[in-house]
Structures are given as structure tokens and as C-alpha cells.
Amino acid sequence: MAGREPRFYRLIYNLASLAMFGWVMAAYRLSPLLYAASGMWRWVLYAAQLVIAVVIFRCVRQTGAGDFLGISQFHSATVHPRKLVTSGWYARVRHPLYLYSALFLALNPVMTARWFLLTIFSVTYFIVGGLIEERRLLKEFGDEYRRYRQRVPFMIPSPKCTRQP
């Protein structure tokens, strides 16, 4: 079907992301420290990351964890048509997973050189990936996605977008 991603794209993407995260964590103690939040600020940043992790989890549940992780592709030889999700966090921004993942990475209370590189590479991927995904969603959902795109901002929430998640 036109506009569909390759069959195991999501699974391969998630495995590559896991490998990159492993690369960062494997050298966590060896990577130069850029800063470390201390005292109350450390706990504020951890709390913010916890809230963001809950939002990310809810976004994944809203779109379907099996589809997001790429494991639902193992259960069926045919790809089932998807429904465009425009409610909840998706009523605020078109790519909430990218937005909140970038915030999660940026708000790490201990910033090493590798974590910083992971953050920079990830944010770059989120923007480029979001733009590529926009083209695929236009092909898949057509006018429905065009209308959604006119109402809801790309990745930065707007005060005009007042729907509650």
C-alpha cells in the first residue's frame, strides 16, 4: 500500500535505538561529565523525567504498543489499515512521542558527553523523521491528515491548540 513503511521498519528502528542507548550506557562512567545537577534540582529533573515517561507510555498505548514496537508485524502477514489518532496528546502536537522523548533526554540530571551526543542525534532524527513521517501520513490518510496538520502544530505546542490531552 502506498505510504506504508517497510514491514519490519519499526522493529529495526527500535533495535537500532536500543543499540545506540547501549553504546551510551556502556561508557557512562568513562564519558566526560558536562554537568551534574545537585540537591533539589537533581530531584526536580528526575521528577520531570518520570512525568514525561508516563506521558510517553500513554502516547504509545494510544497508538498501540505492538505497532509502535514493531512486534505486531510478526502476528500477521497482512498489514491492517490504521486509524489516524488525533485525540489525547495528539490533539496538542502531531508528534508527541518525539517531543517528549527529546525533553526526557534533555532533562537528564547527569549530562555526559555521550548522553549529550545521544540527545543531539536523537533530536535531529526526531525532526527529520517527523518530516518524513508527515509525507507518509499524507499518502496514507490524505485530506484527513491535511486538516489535522492545519489544526495541530508539528512538535512544539501552541497556545491556540487548547484541546485537553
Domain boundaries, the chain: 35-151
The more confident residue out of 14 and 110 is 110
φ, ψ for residue 111, nearest 5 deg: -105, 110
- Per DSSP, 57 falls in state H
Whole-model pTM?
0.82
Mean pLDDT computed over every residue of the chain: 86
User: Cell numbers of 122, please?
Assistant: 536523537
3: pLDDT confidence band, cut at 50, 70 and 90? very low
Distance separating alpha carbons of residues 95 and 152, to the nearest angstrom: 10
In Å, the largest CA–CA distance within the chain is 53
The C-alpha angle 87, 121, 73, rounded to 5 degrees, equals 50
Q: What is the mean pLDDT of residues 26-39?
A: 89
User: Is the model's pLDDT at 59 over the cut of 80?
Assistant: yes
SS3 at position 112: strand
Distance separating alpha carbons of residues 116 and 139, to the nearest angstrom: 35
User: Is the model's pLDDT at 165 over the cut of 60?
Assistant: no
